[in-house]
A = this chain, B = another copy of it.
Amino acid sequence: MRALRALRFRRFHTGRTMAAAATAAAAPGTAPGAAPGHRSPVLSLGTMNPAIRRVEYAVRGPIVTRALQLENDLRQGVPKPFSEVIKANIGDAHAMGQKPITFLRQVTALCLYPELLSQPSIPEDAKNRARRLLDACAGHSAGAYSVSPGIDLVREDVARFLQRRDGVAADPQNIFLSTGASDAIVTILKLLVSGSEGTRTGVMIPIPQYPLYSAAIAELSAVQLNYYLDEEHCWALDVAELRRALTEGRRHCCPRVLCIINPGNPTGQVQSRQCIEDVIKFAFEEKLFLMADEVYQDNVYAKGSAFHSFKKVLFEMGPPYSEVVELASFHSVSKGFMGECGFRGGYVEVVNMDPEVKQQLAKLVSVRLCPPVPGQILLDTVINPPQPGEPSYELFMKEKQEVLSTLAHKAHLTQEIFNRTPGIRCNPVQGAMYSFPRIELPPRAVAAAEAQGQAPDMFFCIKLLEETGICVVPGSGFGQRQGTFHFRMTILPPTEKLQILLEKLSTFYTKFIKDYS
């Protein structure tokens, strides 16, 4: 039964039951030809929200369903050509064995169970932070709702963090805490979407993209406008390409939003300051609302690369840009050195947002009451870390730097091993947590994939999973130039395991090429 369910799921995702869905759509509510007494459900593929049907999210798509199945098989002793499934599909550091940063968890646990404040084993600065945060919670409890944009104190701490980071004033009233960055991204997109046939909002997104964007655009019935990153130049963003995509988009919709992911996901590039300035000028000239996904701001590894926030560059450019360009910048506790995905903490800072729209945003977030309070607390510890001289400072810095230097090492290792393999080309992983290597696939492999109704890189990734237990996500789930094939793999497995995995993958690829040549 489980297998059947999973099979159905896979088939739907690979598009094979679309015909069935269309048939159902043609006759909503009734099933002509059904046996007498048969009753079709109120909610079926044919009658459900078509916008939701269009949503796709590859990072947790069919390949992951299959990986979970294989894991289950292994647990039950079914023999496989591998002894472990390695899920390199998702940026989830703790799932790959990264340990939590002690200070973060101490403060959060203290807030949840304040009886621990009398524990001599927990350092005083962690206790002081917990007391300060509990004082800012309604009823001194993490179990009370916070105000909807988030605990005032945490918003103020975020503002101070941004001021330190950018050297530019930040207003706590412009900061809205959220249930992970995903939640904030969808909320801002929701505000921006309007119009109907022909006048719908166009949202420009990079290709390759993180598929939250395409999923949200589909759900909101907006129009996805693709601009391609330049793989030949280390996935650089080129303003001429932005202009091409915009001009084309204007023929059939109203482009109003430009989304940037920096450092890039899945592509790992880090944008130069000049490029950011060019993008801001473009947004100014073309009247586009900028959405800057900056959740990997702490994950920059390459020599010569540095993170520049859109807000900092915007204010350095001065008027008129700094006075009118509308910007929403997103951050999260899920990435960086902490990798606390499970807490679903994040925020958006809005800049130059129309005050009336900001009230609408405040109203909109109030419907969901508040972001999870443990996530808000954890966010506070991240953006307001222990200071020199405080008892937790040294351990905190040691743990943080260890994570970041290991990631930098793994980023380098990844590109090195991939680029040793003929047929695989991997741009430098300058930042974020992923490599996105390009793979050549022989025409016979492409034909075999097509015969099975699969994208060629999906075909490759499924075979890779079945034979090696390595789970990566095909490039088609992120978008790529027609005729090119990629996959996304995280750099998160422990170094030794990553090395083995990369070599296994490289060997498998070489064999695959041979088999299909």
Smallest CB separation, A458 vs chain B (Å): 16
Q: Give the segment of A136-144, A155-163, A434-442 that binds chain B.
A: A136-144
User: Within 8 Å CB of A112, what residues of B?
Assistant: 105, 108-109, 112, 374
Q: Give the segment of A264-272, A350-358, A407-415, A447-455 that binds chain B.
A: A350-358
Smallest CB separation, A275 vs chain B (Å): 21
A191: Cβ under 8 A from any B Cβ: yes
A61 to B362, CA, bound (A): 10
A194: Cβ under 8 A from any B Cβ: yes
Most B CB contacts (10 A, CB to CB) among A113, A339, A340, A364 go to A113
A119 to B115, CA, bound (A): 12
For residue A196, which residue of chain B has the nearest CB?
B196
User: Within 8 Å CB of A55, what residues of B?
Assistant: 363-364, 367
Smallest CB separation, A236 vs chain B (Å): 25
Within 8 A of B (CB), among A28-84: 29, 39, 41-45, 47-50, 52-53, 55-57, 59-61, 68
A363 to B59, CA, bound (A): 11
Whether the Cβ atoms of A215 and B289 lie closer than 8 Å is no
User: Within 8 Å CB of A256, what residues of B?
Assistant: 42-43, 47
Q: How many copies does the complex hold?
A: 2
A504: Cβ under 8 A from any B Cβ: no
A55-B364, A116-B116, A363-B55 in contact; A372/B369 too (CB < 8 A)? no
A324 to B31, CA, bound (A): 15
Within 8 A of B (CB), among A68-114: 68, 90, 92-100, 105-106, 108-109, 112-113
Q: Give the segment of A8-16, A240-248, A308-316, A495-503 that binds chain B.
A: A8-16
A183: Cβ under 8 A from any B Cβ: yes
Whether the Cβ atoms of A341 and B359 lie closer than 8 Å is no
Whether the Cβ atoms of A359 and B113 lie closer than 8 Å is no
Q: How many residues of A contact B (CB 8 A)?
A: 107
Contact of A359 among B9, B369, B372 (CB under 8 A): B9
Contact of A113 among B60, B105, B183, B369 (CB under 8 A): B105
User: Within 8 Å CB of A183, what residues of B?
Assistant: 368
A180: Cβ under 8 A from any B Cβ: yes
A392: Cβ under 8 A from any B Cβ: no
Smallest CB separation, A366 vs chain B (Å): 4
A50 to B199, CA, bound (A): 14
A342: Cβ under 8 A from any B Cβ: yes
Q: Give the segment of A145-153, A398-406, A421-429, A460-468 that binds chain B.
A: A145-153
Whether the Cβ atoms of A95 and B368 lie closer than 8 Å is no
Whether the Cβ atoms of B48 and A357 lie closer than 8 Å is yes
- Binary contact track A355-384/B, C-beta < 8 Å → 1, others 0: 111011011101111111111000000000
User: Within 8 Å CB of A98, what residues of B?
Assistant: 139
For residue A173, which residue of chain B has the nearest CB?
B5
User: Within 8 Å CB of A43, what residues of B?
Assistant: 191-192, 256, 289, 326, 353-354, 357
8 contacts across the A-B interface (CB closer than 8 A): A43-B256, A52-B191, A60-B148, A95-B144, A100-B141, A109-B109, A116-B116, A179-B372
- 9 smallest CB-CB distances across A and B, nearest first, come from A342-B373, A109-B113, A95-B138, A94-B141, A60-B366, A94-B144, A95-B144, A372-B372, A94-B143
Binding site for B on A (CB under 8 A): 5, 8-9, 12-13, 17, 21, 29, 39, 41-45, 47-50, 52-53, 55-57, 59-61, 68, 90, 92-100, 105-106, 108-109, 112-113, 115-116, 119, 121, 137-139, 141-148, 173, 179-180, 182-183, 190-194, 212, 215-216, 219, 256, 287-289, 320, 324, 326, 338-344, 352-357, 359-360, 362-364, 366-375
